[in-house]
Amino acid sequence: MPRRPRLTLPHVPLHLIQRGNNRQACFFADEDYRAYLDWLLDAARKTDCHIHAYVLMTNHVHLLLSSEHADAPGQMMKTLGQRYVQYVNRTYRRTGTLWEGRFRSSLVQQEGYFLACHRYIELNPVRARMVEHPGDYRWSSYRTNAQGEDDGLIQAHAVYAALGATAAERQVAYRGLFQTELAPGLVDAIRAALHGSYALGDARFAQELQRTLGRRAVPGIPGRPKPASTP
């Protein structure tokens, strides 16, 4: 079965995930994480992509971004992926693929869902029981978004900027979002949209995307339609 084309639109937030092949590790040392982030910054600048949140896990990567052009995320990930694979193969004297094919992604509604994706991404190390608090994990955007540590990569989205009039106010408000857990149903919705390459948002958001893109942005009803009955 052919893969569904990705849903991408300029200026609409995009949540994406790229996994290591067969879910094997793609980062092996601190230097690998640093190299990936440096090359992500370079690729994002060259393709007019804006990174709002990220986490680098041992065997996969989550990014939340927006872009100036619909094809920019694909260009960015292709450039970044090739450069990083060459580095890993050279450094660890390995051959073959590192990534599990194409990255998966979903367009994200700004109202009600964008900051939920922020939290979902930065809470990955907590859900994986690697740390007790997202601030304890080095390879995510939490320290920038919540604590003001500038890593040069993160560009605040308008939804984040609306959290407060000053950087300090925004960081306090953002940290406050982590005082409650994400609802299980919302976590399931984020995962389903991401892995199915569907829209993450309400029905109105999905309908607007479908009109703009001219294709389905939500899962279809399983099974074939039944033939009309004969009178």
Q: Give the pLDDT band of residue 231 (cuts 50, 70, 90).
A: very low
Residue 15 has pLDDT above 50, yes or no: yes
Higher pLDDT, 214 or 65: 65
Per-residue pLDDT tens over the stretch 29-54:
999 999 999 999 999 999 999 999 99
pLDDT, mean of residues 123-146: 97
pLDDT, mean of residues 195-221: 86
Q: Give the pLDDT band of residue 6 (cuts 50, 70, 90).
A: confident
Residue 13 has pLDDT above 50, yes or no: yes
Higher pLDDT, 231 or 10: 10
Residue 224 has pLDDT above 70, yes or no: no
As a whole number, the mean pLDDT across the chain is 91
Q: Give the pLDDT band of residue 131 (cuts 50, 70, 90).
A: very high
Q: Sketch out the chain's domains with CATH numbers.
A: 14-198 (3.30.70.1290)
pLDDT, mean of residues 202-225: 78
Per-residue pLDDT tens over the stretch 65-121:
999 999 999 999 999 999 999 999 999 999 888 998 889 999 999 999 999 999 999
pLDDT number for residue 225: 41
Q: Which of 165, 194, 182, 171 is nearest to 112 (CA)?
A: 182
Q: Give the pLDDT band of residue 140 (cuts 50, 70, 90).
A: very high
pLDDT number for residue 17: 97
Contacts of residue 108, defined as CB under 8 A and 6 or more positions apart, other chains included, come to 12, 13, 14, 15, 64, 114, 117, 199, 200, 201
